[in-house]
Structure 1
Amino acid sequence: MGAIALALAAPTMIAGPAEAADPLLSQGRPVTVSSSGWCCPAANAVDGNSATRWASAAGVDPQWIDVDLGAVVRVSRVRLQWDASCATAYEIGTSADRVTWTKIYATTAGKGGVEDLTSLDGTGRYVRVYGTKRCRTDRSRGYSLQEFAVYGSAGDVQPPSPPGTPTLVGVTSTSATIAWTAATDDVGVAGYDVYRDGQLCASTTGALTATCGNLGPNGSYGFYVNARDAAGNVSQASGTLPVRTPPSDDSTPPSAPSDVHVTAVNSTSIGLAWTASTDDVGVTGYRIYDGGTQIGTSDTASTTLGGLTPSTAYHLQVRAVDRNGNLSAPSTPVLDVTTTGGSGCSPSQGVCGATQITTDDDVVWGLTTLPDGTVLYTQRDVHDIIHLNPATRAKTTIGTLPGVENTDGEGGLLGLEINPVSFATDHWLYLFHTTASDNRIVRVKYDPAADSLDTSTEQVLLTGIARNKYHNGGRLRFSPDGRYLFAATGDAQNSATAPNTSSLNGKVLRINPDGSIPADNPFGNAVWSYGHRNIQGLAFDAQGRLWEQEFGNNVMDETNLIVKGGNYGWPSCEGTSGSCDGFVAPKRTYPVAQGSCSGIAIVNGALYVACERGARLYRAVIEGDTLTNVQSFFTGTYGRLRTVEPAPDSGLWLATSVDGDKDGVPHNSHNQILRVSVG
């Protein structure tokens, strides 16, 4: 595997307390099979006696056996003991009704004997082994399983129902009090968590009202509630209550910025700095104008205006703003600056111009470049895949992915990826999407001749990734050698899943292209690293190392260098805040107000980070295992930025996420896809 194996193999393992083993649940339970040979009935596989066995009909694939555990349980381990007629390719699945099955394990490298599959995470009454290829090609042989042992927890695995949509009790310029109707649960609701636009802002132990503070005047927010029971099961979210805070009684504007001056100028950008303003309450930021039209924002007393036109005069002024929205007088005098001529992009510029390639009225989420230089991207809320020719600006809808469901938040049709090594011949598209019951990874064939999606070829690669209104993750990235597909998942608004290595949530996952589990994964399942809150950015550098971008709650976002088996600390640690000893430390953190960053890309040894709330593109140089020379570009120029991907000729594709990206409603966004030139 070369450099990639060396870069990803060294684990950072964090030891935890020993846990009591889950009990054996399957022995003596009823079993159903696809067929049985004359010698060996199905019940032999669950009798606890390895001298007996179940044998299927000879020479037929696929074949299956399932066991009825009598009640819905959480499955943590399956132990298989084969005789010589084993399966080289098989899946383990769970089901509540024996109709819909969720795959919790798959392999194409079964070796027979005893296969003890630990660190599984599935829920269901029925557990099935589904064999698709036999160890023995002799048509006179079938599958022969001596023991099929299922272990797990028979406790409470049923989440509460969603609480009722909140109603507004009261609102001030800095807080909102909401109330909601109770959720129900088979055992009992233990408490509620209140979220503001995906960020936890209040919790109760049973009360049906709560107050969220730290809001801003004249601000728009969305509040919703999740219920949880004593076993840690978390409901799906309530409906969302939109709230707009009133202005405060602060009517005093900040002082005008002074000494506005140029720090750098080139063909497509201008660097500015000024003396900071003062305010009786506090300055929250600055707005930069060209002849009265706002063209940028800044959190501090300096900025770089990007995406400008060469050989063009700009007439610049700066105004300060406070938390109540009071604007200062413009800086004086007007600063007249003319960008330089030419279209070159020197390394010192970092990021140069940006050109709009197209617009879209849906959320542009996953995006990948095909070998011919054209682009495919996903529309999150419509569930379509669009083929874009950047040269002609022509767009074609190649198809709608079936089975996708929105979450009234951030779920839907998310990540899109192709195998960099095999796509030219296999034409598989790999997609991450939300369904009515989970998040999952699938692949489906693209037909280049017809320029269409062949939905009849769809294969489900990985299921059982919990979903919720927010925190679904969704980014996909192949290793540069095409051998492994990595996926980013969120904690589905249940932080207890992130440190649990048997859960697929709050993780970086690693699977083979066919959905099977690589033999060297650290926990025997799809989990590669854990302790993550909500990942939406993955990128490999030139050394074959995997970088990751993660949303914080209300303190800081983080950029991580991922190592095999590493624990990145959530929920004990957010960035570098909290109880962080013993966890893998981030390589860079960003205040949430200046970040909330989603996609990342690496081009020419620099990491580019697209930020939503921060409305900017960060650039950092990768030196060793550190990030240096961090700069920000396009701050406030294009609004919220979600997706950034490498483009041909060492450029970038950059997609905005303006309006409609928190509600799951199709066709209510105002987005651009930009072609960015970089140094």
Structure 2
Amino acid sequence: MLLAVVAAVIAMLVAGAVPAAAAGSAVVGVASGRCLDVVGNVKTSGTGVNIYDCNGQANQGWTFTSSGEFRVYDATMCLDVVGQDTTAPAALQIYTCNGGANQKWRINSDGTIAGVQSGLCLDVSGAGTANSTLVGLWTCNGQANQKWTTSAGSADTQPPSVPGNPRVSGLVCDAVTFAWNASTDNVGVAFYDVYHDGQLMKSVSGTTLSTGLTVVGGVTWGLYVNARDAAGNVSQASTTVPITPPQCQADTQPPSAPGQLRGSASGTTVTLNWTASTDDIGVRAYDIYRGGAKAGTVTGTATTAPATTFIDSGLAANTGYQYYVVARDAQANVSARSGTVTVTTGAACANPVCAVTQIATDTDIPWGLATLPDGTILYTRRDAHDIVHLNPASGAKTTVGTVPNVANTDGEGGLLGLAVSSGFASDHWLYIMHTTPADNRIVRIKLENDRLNTGTEQVLVSGILRNKFHDGGRLRFGPDGKLYASTGDAQNGDNAQNTSSLNGKILRLNPDGTVPSDNPFGNYVWSYGHRNPQGLAFDSQGRLWEQEFGNSVMDETNLITRGGNYGWPACEGTTGSCGTAGFIAPKHTYPTADGSCSGIAIVRDVLYVACERGTRMYREVISGSDLTNVQAYFNGTYGRLRTVEPAPDGGLWLTTTNLGDKDSTPNNSDEKLLHVTLGS
């Protein structure tokens, strides 16, 4: 009898009637309570993945490896994205482990599990909870069908160390080799991301310590590198290595003179047009002269010719102005002058922009700017870490104090946004966003007797990740009495899609620093999927508009909605996976050569956008939920423009950011603070 029982058990085992026990750990869906399961308990590459009642079998036993893989069946097969698809929806399968990026995963602190390659989240299809519901990848949205519990592995929150000794070799006109020393990490470095001036150039594996880069002759860039682990943690950036490649060919021939210069006046604005110059290699810019002094510059790129029109605004009424134009190539060869044209302005300003007055200069970079109830101005000095009180009528300036614990980043961090309490007359609170040695944060400090009372400082929000670039920094009180803040992704696009992270977001907080009860995710996050937003402004309907830096293709202006996802890093402007369900499209985009815009202001439901690389201010009429009648002003007149704010008289405050913009060195700038008079 005993022999018969033993034989029966052996037969059952051979037949598979007693399933193998799981060697790993269960991954359990929060919404369903069911386990991540290989369909049909089949151990074959290409088999799909679903949820099923937890039963302890081998097809539910997952091991999370140090390299970021989810292994199953005694760690012989890996969770894999079919076809390496990086757009939602994407299918999952098990497949022989091969180390591919589509087999790397990140366990997030909010319970989501994201694909390292795609940034998309493990998602139970249709938010289903029934047995056999398939599991795939979808845009991360923080819902319960994307949250999991597991002891297979824990979230890795420690970033790698800073890559050391960045250096270049073999610099020629169109290429350079960039190298660095290895970073260290508690688990392991998976990638190195190489940037120039905040723009991602390429990513290489964690075992690669040098790479060839394509560069542009005659253009100065600052190269640096970040280390990234499989969990998506990003190091602080290396030091910057400046390069200026030589031109690819000697060029001593100047462009031809611009032709057929003509001009017309409308009120106190002059519009000039001319025919393009020619050059043996290419025209790079036109310089416009008014009365013999340079009035502005229209620039192009190595692949895009500069425009042949220029708008000169804010001129005196009933005055004749004489203009000519010269062309330049990339090696600074200058053409002969165009013909001269004289244009007489009208009797009064009948234009949107009527006059520009310089109210002050500064040796540091004015970043945040706010108007006090008496009409005077406070502005932050980014690299010097202090706040200046300016009387725009007299030009008198007083330094009211230095903000404590501010640190630079050898890039764009430092003393950033500034907002004045709506009850300033009685409570004296200033709200400030700044970088520290460890993070970015929002604080408030009282301004009493024209001095910062640093003993009153309160830290409202801390733990916003910092990096060399992508620190955001703008503050704006809304008509609802809440404080809104823009935060950058800290050079890690994964942060932007993680609603538990404060980076790559628009934040919303009560004036005392508490979380408003109607915020969509139960924390400070109001909207997400942002790269490096810096402009915030409200229109007459109480709607929030936002300005955001793109990487290398386009910048964008967004109309912000509660809980909205604006797509980064899968979507940049209208490029990439911008058609993905759930992504909100921008209201206007700008090529980065014409944009890199930072601050925005709204006056009488017209949006004004201050642009750095584009060296211009855009004027855009808000019509419904669209931006119309887009026009560019001051194209090259004042150089790079950083901050624009409403002035009490219905005009604008406008600041430049031309020198020392990316080096964190205090008082090495020569910047202007301007007042712009607006017409009807």
**TM-score, scaled relative to structure 1:** 0.75
- Please list the CA deviations of residues 26-57 of structure 1 after superposition, one character each: whole Å capped at 9, or x if unmatched: xxxxxxxxxxxxxxxxxxxxxxxxxxxxxxxx
- Please list the CA deviations of residues 401-435 of structure 1 after superposition, one character each: whole Å capped at 9, or x if unmatched: 10111101100110000133x22221110111111
Q: Match of 1:351?
A: 353
Decide whether the 8 Å contact of 2:530 with 2:566 is kept in 1.
yes
Q: Match of 2:431?
A: 430
**Residue 296 (structure 1) shift:** 0.8
Decide whether the 8 Å contact of 2:265 with 2:343 is kept in 1.
no
**Residue 211 (structure 1) shift:** 3.0
Q: Match of 2:411?
A: 409
Question: C-alpha separation between the residues in 1 aligned to 2:426 and 2:352?
Answer: 36
Question: C-alpha separation between the residues in 1 aligned to 2:28 and 2:354?
Answer: 54
What SS is found at the alignment partner of 1:523?
A: coil
What amino acid is the match of 1:533?
A: R
Q: How does 1:186-225 map to 2 (within 5 A)?
A: 186-205=186-205, 206-215=207-216, 217-225=217-225
Decide whether the 8 Å contact of 1:176 with 1:211 is kept in 2.
yes
Q: How does 1:265-664 map to 2 (within 5 A)?
A: 265-267=266-268, 269-298=269-298, 299-331=306-338, 333-340=339-346, 344-346=348-350, 349-420=351-422, 422-447=423-448, 450-481=449-480, 483-581=481-579, 582=581, 583-664=583-664
- Please list the CA deviations of residues 265-289 of structure 1 after superposition, one character each: whole Å capped at 9, or x if unmatched: 433x321111222334433332212
Question: C-alpha separation between the residues in 1 aligned to 2:568 and 2:164?
Answer: 28
What SS is found at the alignment partner of 2:274?
A: strand
Decide whether the 8 Å contact of 1:159 with 1:233 is kept in 2.
yes
What SS is found at the alignment partner of 2:497?
A: coil
Q: How does 1:22-61 map to 2 (within 5 A)?
A: none
What SS is found at the alignment partner of 1:593?
A: helix
Decide whether the 8 Å contact of 1:528 with 1:564 is kept in 2.
yes
What amino acid is the match of 1:479?
A: G
Question: C-alpha separation between the residues in 2 aligned to 1:651 and 1:672?
Answer: 17
Question: C-alpha separation between the residues in 2 aligned to 1:256 and 1:515?
Answer: 60
What SS is found at the alignment partner of 2:187?
A: coil
Question: May I ask how many residue pairs the two structures share in their alignment?
Answer: 533
Question: C-alpha separation between the residues in 2 aligned to 1:173 and 1:615?
Answer: 26
Question: C-alpha separation between the residues in 2 aligned to 1:165 and 1:325?
Answer: 34
Q: How does 1:159-174 map to 2 (within 5 A)?
A: 159-174=159-174
- Please list the CA deviations of residues 440-489 of structure 1 after superposition, one character each: whole Å capped at 9, or x if unmatched: 11111111xx21111111111111110000000000011124x2110001
Question: C-alpha separation between the residues in 2 aligned to 1:192 and 1:413?
Answer: 28
Q: Match of 1:256?
A: 257
Moved more, 319-328 or 204-213: 319-328
Question: C-alpha separation between the residues in 2 aligned to 1:153 and 1:425?
Answer: 52
- Please list the CA deviations of residues 283-325 of structure 1 after superposition, one character each: whole Å capped at 9, or x if unmatched: 3332212354322112311110234444554331122333444
**Residue 19 (structure 1) shift:** 9.2
Decide whether the 8 Å contact of 1:203 with 1:210 is kept in 2.
no
RMSD: 2.4
Moved more, 190-199 or 534-543: 190-199
What SS is found at the alignment partner of 1:256?
A: coil
User: Greater CA radius of gyration, 1 or 2?
Assistant: 2
Decide whether the 8 Å contact of 1:76 with 1:151 is kept in 2.
no
Question: C-alpha separation between the residues in 2 aligned to 1:617 and 1:152?
Answer: 53
**Residue 616 (structure 1) shift:** 0.6
What SS is found at the alignment partner of 1:171?
A: coil
Q: Match of 1:4?
A: none
Q: CA distance change for structure 1 residues 605 and 74 in 2, over 3 Å: closer, same or farther?
A: closer
Q: CA distance change for structure 1 residues 273 and 468 in 2, over 3 Å: closer, same or farther?
A: same
Q: Which has the higher contact order (CA 8 A, sep 6+)?
A: 1
Q: CA distance change for structure 1 residues 573 and 653 in 2, over 3 Å: closer, same or farther?
A: same
Residue identity over aligned pairs, in percent, reads 59
Q: CA distance change for structure 1 residues 541 and 165 in 2, over 3 Å: closer, same or farther?
A: farther
Flag structure 1 segments of 5+ consecutive residues without an equivalent: 1-17, 23-72, 78-117, 121-148
Q: CA distance change for structure 1 residues 314 and 20 in 2, over 3 Å: closer, same or farther?
A: farther
Decide whether the 8 Å contact of 1:354 with 1:675 is kept in 2.
yes
Q: Match of 2:102?
A: none
Asked if 1:234 is matched to 2:240, the reply is no
Flag structure 2 segments of 5+ consecutive residues without an equivalent: 1-26, 32-106, 112-140, 144-148, 299-305
What SS is found at the alignment partner of 1:166?
A: strand
Question: C-alpha separation between the residues in 2 aligned to 1:443 and 1:534?
Answer: 23
What amino acid is the match of 2:297?
A: T
Moved more, 546-555 or 574-583: 574-583
Decide whether the 8 Å contact of 1:617 with 1:632 is kept in 2.
yes
Question: C-alpha separation between the residues in 1 aligned to 2:428 and 2:459?
Answer: 16
